[in-house]
Amino acid sequence: MKILNYLTLIILFGLSLTGCKKKEAALEPSEITIQYQLPQGNHDYDPELVDLNKKYGSYFLYKFSAIDFAANPVYGAGGFNESYLVDEADEAYVGKVLNFIKRNWLNYYSDEFLKNNLPFKVLLGQKLRLKASPTSNYNVLSNFNQMTLNNFSAAFDSMTDPQKKTYVNSLHAEFFNFILSRGKLDVPADFAAVTNYTTAATFTNYYALGYVNYVVAIGDNKLNKDFLSYVGLITSKTKAELDASILSPTNDTAGLIKKKYNFIVNYYKTKYNIDLQAIGNAGVI
**Residue 4: pLDDT over 50:** no
Q: Give the model confidence (pLDDT) of 100-136 as tens digits.
A: 999 999 999 999 999 999 999 999 999 999 988 888 8
Q: Give the model confidence (pLDDT) of 138-189 as tens digits.
A: 999 999 899 999 999 999 999 999 999 999 999 999 999 999 999 998 899 9
Q: Give me the mean pLDDT over the 235-263 stretch.
A: 97
Quick one: which of 154, 150, 30, 48 has its CA closest to 95? Answer: 48
Strand pairing category for 121-130 and 59-61: parallel
Q: What percentage of the chain exceeds 90 in pLDDT? A: 77
Mean pLDDT of the chain: 89
Instruction: Identify the band that residue 45 occupies on the pLDDT scale cut at 50, 70 and 90.
Output: very high
Greater pLDDT, 281 or 136: 281
- Report whether 223 contacts 192 (CB < 8 A): yes
**Distance (Å, whole) CA 150 – CA 86:** 8
**Residue 263: pLDDT over 50:** yes
**Residue 275: pLDDT over 80:** yes
- The upper half-sphere exposure of residue 111, i.e. CA atoms within 13 Å in the direction of its Cβ, equals 7
Provide DSSP, 25-78. Answer: PPP-PPPPPPSS-S-SS--TTHHHHHHHHHHHS-EEESS--HHHHH--SS--TT
Cα separations in angstroms, 117 against 107, 123, 216: 14, 15, 25
**Distance (Å, whole) CA 76 – CA 160:** 37
Amino acid making up residue 154: A
Q: Give me the mean pLDDT over the 193-198 stretch.
A: 97
Sign of the alpha-carbon torsion through 96, 124, 154, 107: negative
pLDDT at residue 285, rounded to an integer: 85
**Distance (Å, whole) CA 193 – CA 175:** 24
- Exposed e or buried b per residue across 17-26, where buried means at least 16 C-beta atoms within 10 angstroms of its C-beta: eeeeeeeeee
Instruction: Identify the band that residue 213 occupies on the pLDDT scale cut at 50, 70 and 90.
Output: very high
Please, what is the angle between helix 94-104 and helix 46-56, to 10°? 40
Q: Give me the mean pLDDT over the 42-46 stretch.
A: 96
Determine if residue 72 is left, alpha or beta; phi over 0 gives left, psi from -120 to 50 gives alpha, anything else beta: beta
Quick one: which of 280, 271, 218 has its CA closest to 247? Answer: 280
**Distance (Å, whole) CA 111 – CA 276:** 16
pLDDT at residue 111, rounded to an integer: 97
Determine if residue 175 is left, alpha or beta; phi over 0 gives left, psi from -120 to 50 gives alpha, anything else beta: alpha
User: Quick check: helix, strand or coil at residue 122?
Assistant: strand
User: Quick check: helix, strand or coil at residue 131?
Assistant: coil
**Residue 74: pLDDT over 80:** no
Q: Give the model confidence (pLDDT) of 83-103 as tens digits.
A: 899 999 999 999 999 999 999
pLDDT at residue 70, rounded to an integer: 87
**Residue 10: pLDDT over 60:** no
pLDDT at residue 8, rounded to an integer: 46
Backbone angles phi, psi at 95, to 5 degrees: -60, -45
pLDDT at residue 3, rounded to an integer: 46
Q: Give the model confidence (pLDDT) of 227-240 as tens digits.
A: 999 999 999 999 99
- Report whether 125 contacts 86 (CB < 8 A): yes
Q: What percentage of the chain exceeds 70 in pLDDT? A: 86
* 211: β partners: none
pLDDT at residue 134, rounded to an integer: 82
Q: Give me the mean pLDDT over the 55-81 stretch.
A: 84
* 60: β partners: 122
Greater pLDDT, 28 or 187: 187
Backbone angles phi, psi at 127, to 5 degrees: 55, 50
